Amino acid sequence: MVILMATVKVAISIQQDLLLRVDSLVSRKVFTSRSKAIQEAVQEKIARFDRTRLARESAKLDPKFERAMAEEALSRELAEWPEY
């Protein structure tokens, strides 16, 4: 299943040397357009941010507490299962 997202136009300011590098990638057919190159760069940056955020949040967890909570939930679930 492919979900198509609406595309909107935005105006950005970008350093000239960076734009030249983007244009070089477009001319070498790495990207089909400036828009596609910038869109993919933004998507990758956001994905990287999300991964590091998850790692930061996970590091805050107390492994002993999390294990105890999981074991409590599992033992409660097992007690509720019907006997076969």
**Helix, strand, coil: what percent of the chain each, to 5?**
65, 0, 35
How many whole angstroms from its chain centre is CA 60? Answer: 20
Instruction: Provide the pLDDT confidence category of residue 68 given band limits of 50, 70 and 90.
Output: confident
Tens-place pLDDT, residues 26-61: 999 999 999 999 999 999 999 988 888 887 888 888
Whole-prediction pTM: 0.59
* Residue indicated by tokens 């910038």: 38
Q: Determine contact, residues 34/26, Cβ cutoff 8 Å.
A: yes
Q: Count how many residues are written for the chain.
A: 84
